[in-house]
Amino acid sequence: MMKATVYHGTRDVRLESVPDPKLREATDAIVRVTRAAICGSDLWFYRGVVEREPGERTGHEFIGIVEEVGAAVRTVKPGDAVIAPFAIGDGTCAYCLQGLQTSCEHGSFWGDDANGAQAELVRVPYADGTLAVMHEAMRDNDELLADAATLCDVMATGHHGATTAGAGNGGTVIVVGDGAVGLCAVLSAARVHRAERVIAVGHNAARLRIAADFGANDCLDSHDPQTLDRLLEMTKGGAPSIVEAVGNEESFNLAIAAARPGGTVTFVGVPHNVKLPDLRSIFLKNLSLRGGLAPARAYIEPLMAACVAGQIHPGRVFDRRISLEHVAEGYAVMDQRSAIKVLLNPGA
């Protein structure tokens, strides 16, 4: 029997003993989790905003060591350290081959079929298409292991936002949101794409200090009623590249309002309660609306290389590290916004 996190209702997750996973298909692998994470998107079901069935497993971000593989698995073997993206993909369908693994014709997500990642062991379907072998330099380096855990989701998602917003075009990028994804979007825009100017917008002073350390040239308080006016003044009418990393209507419309005509607004915050986005402004300003669910698997190798080279260290978004035994506490501190992101160590 292993330990796994199980959802029981609003603000009620529990670590329970459950049967160890077994190989089902020849394309499966079993991975022992060495680091897992709690995601901001996990808070939607934790708070009761999104419905889940009691008894479902939780968690979609993990790294670990391969323990067993099916007969058809070719790219990973027992003993390999691996990084798992938040979506499962076969690696061979038309969407996977074009780098859109989140739309895989045979894909699924962690938590489906009693297979959550906030656990000691995980069964990985389509191991060849899903898992990325970790760079050897990461295996025994605590800082790089934390970096690796962000590549499952938040760093890949922030990078997707910066990339699709056109951060590599050398202009100004505005990132709306100071959660882990927003901070990683700042890091990508500043250190990977090397945008000329990066402006971070959020309302938590400690998080905005991290944004500045990640390369933001300016940090503005989203709760200040003058923020939009300041953005338009600083950018002489709006920025060409905007990343929305929150997912609510207010932040979405701030992103649209801060965009230069002809610019691009990327939204990578999972939309909740966005009922009346300012479509008229999008139309009148000829804005491109992009982004969406990040194909994290497509970004893992280049971002891993950037971490190993010291170009980026996104693991700094983990400001609380706890053992898996205290996973309920991890959810609570993120719910209370006293932690940006929690890293779980199943072996601790």
**Closest-CA residue to 157 (of 244, 79, 277, 218):** 244
Beta strands in 172-225 (DSSP E): 172-176, 197-202, 218-221
CATH architecture of 157-291: 3-Layer(aba) Sandwich (3.40)
Helix, strand or coil, per DSSP, at residue 60: coil
CATH number of 2-153+295-345: 3.90.180.10
**Closest-CA residue to 19 (of 35, 36, 3):** 3
Q: Is 10 exposed, middle or buried (0-12, 13-18, 19+ CB in 10 A)?
A: exposed
List, by residue range, all CATH 3.40.50.720 domains of the chain.
157-291
Q: pLDDT 10s digit of each residue in the chain, 348 long?
A: 999 999 999 999 999 999 999 999 999 999 999 999 999 999 999 999 888 999 999 999 999 999 999 999 999 999 999 999 999 999 999 999 999 999 999 999 998 777 899 999 999 999 999 999 999 999 999 999 999 999 999 999 999 999 999 999 889 999 999 999 999 999 999 999 999 999 999 999 999 999 999 999 999 999 999 999 999 999 999 999 999 999 888 999 999 999 999 999 999 988 877 777 788 999 999 999 997 899 999 999 999 999 999 999 999 999 999 999 999 999 999 999 999 999 998 765
List, by residue range, all CATH 3.90.180.10 domains of the chain.
2-153+295-345
Q: What are phi and psi of 60, to 5 degrees?
A: -140, 15
Q: What's the pLDDT score for residue 113?
A: 76
